């Protein structure tokens, strides 16, 4: 179980953090957080790259490079998937269980292949 402490006034330190970025699930990371930003982590290079560049804001959806709202983005994604001959749903390494379940349901619905980063 992760435990938290204060390194200084601005930095919280979380010990025994589970890394979700590959199937190894290392559970001994120490993550230093200042504000909403990870400032230090002792994981591997993949883990460091993802933790240190984590975004805490919602992504801005775009279609053809133009900002759109989420409903329009979902409509466009549905149009693309409906035209797809051999769709692939890939990734999911840092995706929570509920989102993974939705991806599996979607793959079943549209006959997509489903794969994750451990196969590359």
| Min CB(33)–ligand SF4 separation in Å | 17
Taking CB under 6 A as the criterion, the residue among 17, 31, 38, 47 binding ligand SF4 is 47
DSSP output for 59-111? P--EETTEE--HHHHHHHHHHHHHH-SS-EEEE-TT--HHHHHHHHHHHHHHT
26 binds ligand SF4 (CB under 6 A): yes
> With respect to ligand SF4, which residue has the nearer C-beta, 45 or 56?
45
> With respect to ligand SF4, which residue has the nearer C-beta, 46 or 68?
46
Q: How far apart are CA 37 and CA 11, in angstroms?
A: 10
52 binds ligand SF4 (CB under 6 A): no
Q: How many residues bind ligand SF4 (CB under 6 A)?
A: 10
> With respect to ligand SF4, which residue has the nearer C-beta, 24 or 84?
24
Q: Is 93 exposed, middle or buried (0-12, 13-18, 19+ CB in 10 A)?
A: middle
Q: Is 76 exposed, middle or buried (0-12, 13-18, 19+ CB in 10 A)?
A: middle
Count of CB atoms within 10 A of residue 29's CB? 19
Stretch that binds ligand SF4, among 4-12, 44-52, 69-77, 98-106 (CB under 6 A): 44-52
Binding site for ligand SF4 (CB under 6 A): 19, 21-22, 24-26, 43-44, 46-47
């Amino acid at each position: 179980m992760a435990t938290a402490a204060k390194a200084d006034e601005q930095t919280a330190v979380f010990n025994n953090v589970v890394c979700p970025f590959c199937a190894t699930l290392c559970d001994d990371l120490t993550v230093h957080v200042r504000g909403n930003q990870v400032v230090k982590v002792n994981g591997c290079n993949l883990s460091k790259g993802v933790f240190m560049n984590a975004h805490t804001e919602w992504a801005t959806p775009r279609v053809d490079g133009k900002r759109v709202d989420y409903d329009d983005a979902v409509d466009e994604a549905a149009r693309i998937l409906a035209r797809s001959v051999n769709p692939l749903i890939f990734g999911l390494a840092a995706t929570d269980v509920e989102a993974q379940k939705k991806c599996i349901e979607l793959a079943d619905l549209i006959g997509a292949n489903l794969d994750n980063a451990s196969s590359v």
